[in-house]
Structure 1
Amino acid sequence: MSAVAPLVEPAADLTVAETERYSRHIIIPEIGAVGQRRLRNSRVLVVGAGGLGSPVLLYLAAAGVGTLGIIDDDIVDLSNLQRQVIHGVADVGRSKLESARDAVAELNPLVAVRLHHARLDSTNALTLFADYDLIVDGSDTFATRYLVNDAAAILGKPYVWGSVSRFDGQVSVFWAKHGPSYRDLYPEAPPAGSVRSCGEGGVFGMLCGVVGAMMVSEAVKLITGVGRTLLGRVLLFNALGASWREITVARDPAGEPVTELVDYELFCGTSHRPDTDASAGLSVRELAGMLAARGRGDCDFELIDVREPGEHEIVRIPGSRLIPVALILGGGAVSQVRLDQNIVLYCKAGIRSAEALSELRRQGYSRIQHVQGGVLAWAKEIDPSLPLY
């Protein structure tokens, strides 16, 4: 698609200080003073102040976007600092919103920052989006991505989308009234659990910077009306191979227009865990008691870690054996675990172990439980000396 009309009208003339600050933009003919004034007059909402939100917020602030909104309900964790560069060591335990606001103010005090301390959902999305010209989606769940898409479509607003997983990143622009939407790229949500979050699958930290910078590039082009946007195209980047490629996305002619928001957790199949039998869940304190009894010879059970080998190396519950969930889901665990054995499964936080439990039950295992909260709960409640990740 060729350049679209600028999203906003120019603000009043730049001050001397603004002209000096943004001079490297202003001397670019395609941007100029008018383009910079459009940036100053723009209002951009960033969904998430995490891996993608960090570079997005910093570069939007540096570019001179007049009003930056941030929606997030999380706090800064030490494991975030590997990729969430807007936060620092002193911010661990703080609200990500407050940390991001302070970083933006330090970089460019001319930017007005609006904080929305909430989890984006169907009850607040339309109201929040209505106050902004452009949405930049740095969320990491499919439920939120579909929500952002549908709310933007209902309001007729464009949004920039990006995602990262391990070494792979994707960037695009969606604008339902001018081209394809996220639903044209993903008509149906992937099966629950089939795509790991960054917390479960990991992410190459620097990839967030690459993808986040591309997202800001698209945002600035939309605001100023210059260049060719990624509307109708998805840019794919593989950091391991240092390669870029592009795919085309077309609007589905049979697609129905979005008219209302729905329950997106239900739509994505994540509104409940695979295991619905409460008796199958063990607390870490119950597990600690069972391990002590096993050590005395009073009971016998197999404790299985269903995470990846790298995670097992970082931290593990003593006395456990590693059988990755992929092996279980593929049927390869049958030869390693007896049907007549008592089995306890655990993972990082209880999600993958619940998936593995459901699959093993389907394969005929009945004497099986899993640890609620996983190794993270063990480290917090039983052995605080262990690292969190």
Structure 2
Amino acid sequence: MEAIAGELARLRAEREELDSRIRLLESQLDATPPASALPAGEGDVGTAGARGGTAACPIRRGNGFTPTDMIHRYSRHLLLPDFGVEGQRKLSQSSILVVGAGGLGSPVALYLAACGVGCLGIVDGDDVELNNLHRQIIHKEAYVGQSKVKSAADACREINSSIKVVEHRHTLKPFNALEIVTKYDIVVDATDNLPTRYMISDCCVLLNKPLISGAALGLEGQLTVYHHNGSPCYRCLFPNPPPVAACQRCSDSGVLGVVPGVIGCLQALEAIKVATDVGEPLSGRMLLFDALSARIRIVKIRGSSSVCMVCGENSVFTQEEFQKFDYETFTQSPMSDKSAPSLDLLPESARVTCKDYKRLIDNGESHILLDVRPTHHFQIASVSQSLNIPLSVLEEKLHMLEISLKETMDASTLNKLPSIYVICRRGNDSQIAVQLLREKGFLSAKDIIGGLQSWAQDVDPDFPVY
């Protein structure tokens, strides 16, 4: 009986403590005046500069939600002993910027909105495309062709109209990054290119903001928290950018839709942990995810580098230098895959346009069309009567080309070697292939400028672009 009485006393004490915490939360909600809704859209960059909000981005309690409503909405959070009222309060007073509204940014933004972050900023300069939808789950078909930020912000407001969502409908660049990032407590890097990763990290160091950084490509992903609790910045780990050939994007190599979803969910979790001081963030550690084997590994990474040019002890990297720094030149890669540079390796005499090649077909000229894309690309779509020998194995399989040339010449009424026209996806690999072929004696080889993308644009609008 004494044990039962003791247990009852303990439970009553816990209930009284919980009731007290709920009353505290109610009083805090009542004491917070409703904020006027700021207009969202281009130029709306007001955000919270410190947890608790500022006049630029006040924490909104709009649409008639009462304190009782808010407790009911977040009741499953409040029931968690390790999170509870205090964790929810801190989250509701925090401001988080999500850079990128794509595969990673979609789950990040949705979960931060649903969980009740006080102010959610979303920055992205792109529009929604049909090939985004398999992984960028925040967007709907109806938004194809519209701003990603508008689409993402509307989705977040539909989930939780009590939070403030700020739209930044432009690409984050050195000239505007400081102004935007300075108004948020935490930054989530949900981008997919190297120069932007360096830029966001440098900006967060200069403004002393924690950075939740994730990446997903193919069937793998990774995640860490930079510049927080002694953890390194991105430059500490990678003072020099990797070779261009090692920097792939999902637009080149592909990505299984659920993989950025997994990493994005984990980024949202880390952002919430940092915002609320709950748990142990991935500071000084990196999570590695392998989708095929369903394995997650966490490895320790080295601490901040004392000689880092941005966060090191003797760093002289200033905000003025940051705004002038050319990240694309530094990494030798573009911030947008839409501005990916085209190679220029061949003289004009070794190249033809897609329209020129179409006229050649229409005239019935005997020739070989060599497609040097990887085999799995060739299986997606190809031009009729093309021969597929991937660039990676072209040199060792030249005999296949020789056989095809002989067969074509035998079938032709003309007693001359047929010309070779080389095509790829975008017109870069085909130039490399033509260089190789000419060096090996195939002097009639010519590049088709712009590859299959130009073919779809200039010749056959029904040809699938991927």
Normalised by the length of structure 1, the TM-score is 0.86
Residues 212 and 271, structure 2, Cα contact 8 Å, conserved in 1: yes
Q: How does 1:158-307 map to 2 (within 5 A)?
A: 158-175=210-227, 178-250=230-302, 251-257=304-310, 259=317, 260-261=321-322, 262-270=325-333, 272-275=341-344, 279=348, 282-293=352-363, 295-297=364-366, 300=367, 302-307=368-373
Whether contact under 8 Å (1:10, 1:35) holds in the other structure is no
- For residues 354 and 254 of structure 1, do their structure 2 counterparts lie closer, same or farther at Cα, with a shift above 3 Å needed? farther
Structure 1: where are the runs of 5+ without partners? Answer: 1-6
Task: Name which of structure 1's ranges 54-63 and 273-282 shifts more when overlaid on structure 2.
Answer: 273-282
Structure with larger RCO (C-alpha < 8 A, sep 6+): 1
Q: CA deviation at 1:363?
A: 7.6
Distance in 2 of aligned mates of 1:97 and 1:152? 21
**Contact persistence 2:228–2:283 (CA under 8 A):** no
Which residue in the other structure is 1:90 paired with?
142
Q: Does 1:385 pair with 2:438? A: no
Structure 1 residue 172: Cα displacement: 0.7
Deviation at 1:286, TM superposition (A): 3.1
User: Is the alpha carbon distance of 1:147 and 1:360 closer, same or farther for their aligned partners in structure 2, counting shifts above 3 Å?
Assistant: farther
* Structure 1 ranges of 4+ moved more than 6 A: 11-14, 338-341, 358-366
SS in 2 for 1:244: strand
Q: CA deviation at 1:336?
A: 5.0
In the alignment, does 2:379 pair up with 1:313? yes
Change (3 A) 1:134 1:191: same
Contact 2:456 2:462 in 1 (8 A): yes
Match of 2:92 among 40, 52, 59: 40
**Offset from partner CA, 1:267-301 (integer Å, 9 cap, x none):** 111264443657366543233234334x334xx4x
The whole-number CA distance in structure 2 between the counterparts of 1:36 and 1:268 is 40
Counterpart position of 1:62: 114
Report what 1:324 is aligned to: 390
Report the equivalent of 1:120.
Answer: 172
- Alpha-carbon contact 2:204-2:210 (below 8 Å) kept: yes
Q: 2:159 aligns with which of 107, 115, 120?
A: 107
Mapped partners of 2:262, 2:439: distance in 1? 42
The number of residue pairs the alignment matches comes to 377
Q: TM-score, normalised by structure 2?
A: 0.73
Match 2:128 to one of 63, 67, 76: 76
Aligned-residue Cα RMSD (Å) equals 2.9
2:465 aligned counterpart, secondary structure: coil
The correspondence for 2:425, drawn from 348, 363, 388, is 348
How far apart are 1:342 and its partner, in Å?
Answer: 5.2
With 244-253 and 21-30 compared, the bigger mean Cα shift is at: 244-253
Say if 1:341 and 1:246 are closer, same or farther in 2 by CA, change over 3 A.
farther
- Residue range with higher mean Cα deviation, 30-39 or 138-147: 30-39
Letter in 2 for 1:253: S
Distance 1:363 1:161 in 2: 46
One-letter code aligned to 1:254:
V
Query: Computing the radius of gyration over CA atoms, which structure comes out larger, 1 or 2?
Result: 2
Cα separation, 2, equivalents of 1:67 and 1:357: 54
The CA distance in 2 between the partners of 1:362 and 1:220, in whole Å, is 58
Closer, same or farther in 2 for the Cα pair 1:223/1:244, shift >3 Å?
A: same
Distance 1:275 1:341 in 2: 25
Q: What is the aligned counterpart of 2:200 among 143, 148, 152?
A: 148
CA contact (8 A) 2:225 2:231 kept: no
2:451 to 352, 374, 381: 374
The 2-side partners of 1:360 and 1:136 are apart by 46
Distance 1:20 1:306, change over 3 A: farther
SS of 1:135's equivalent in the other structure is: strand
How far apart, in 2, do the equivalents of 1:358 and 1:113 lie?
Answer: 52
> How far does the alpha carbon of each residue in 1:196-227 deviate from its partner, in whole angstroms, 9 at most, with x for none?
21111110111121111110110000000111
Q: Secondary structure at the match of 2:377?
A: helix
**For 1:362 and 1:263, how far apart are their aligned partners in 2?**
36
SS in 2 for 1:58: helix
Matched residues, percent identical? 37
The letter for the 2-side match of 1:58 is: L
What SS does the aligned partner of 1:296 have? coil
Structure 2 unmatched runs, 5+: 1-48, 54-58, 312-316, 335-340, 406-416
Amino acid at match of 1:287: Y
Q: Which residue of 2 aligns with 1:4?
A: none
Aligned partners of 2:206, 2:189: CA distance in 1, in Å?
16
Post-superposition offset of 1:25: 1.1
Q: 1:346 to 1:244 in 2, by over 3 A?
A: same
Contact 2:194–2:333 under 8 Å retained in 1: no
In the alignment, residue 461 of structure 2 is paired with which amino acid?
A: P
The structure-2 alpha-carbon separation of the partners of 1:190 and 1:249, relative to structure 1 and needing over 3 Å to count, comes to same
**Is the 1:8–1:38 Cα contact (8 Å) retained in structure 2?**
no
Q: Deviations over 1:314-354 (max 9, x none)?
A: 212233222334335xx545555579985544333345445
- 2:190 maps to which of 138, 141, 157: 138
* Cα offsets for 1:335-389 (capped at 9, x unmatched): 5557998554433334544565677678887765544443233223322223332
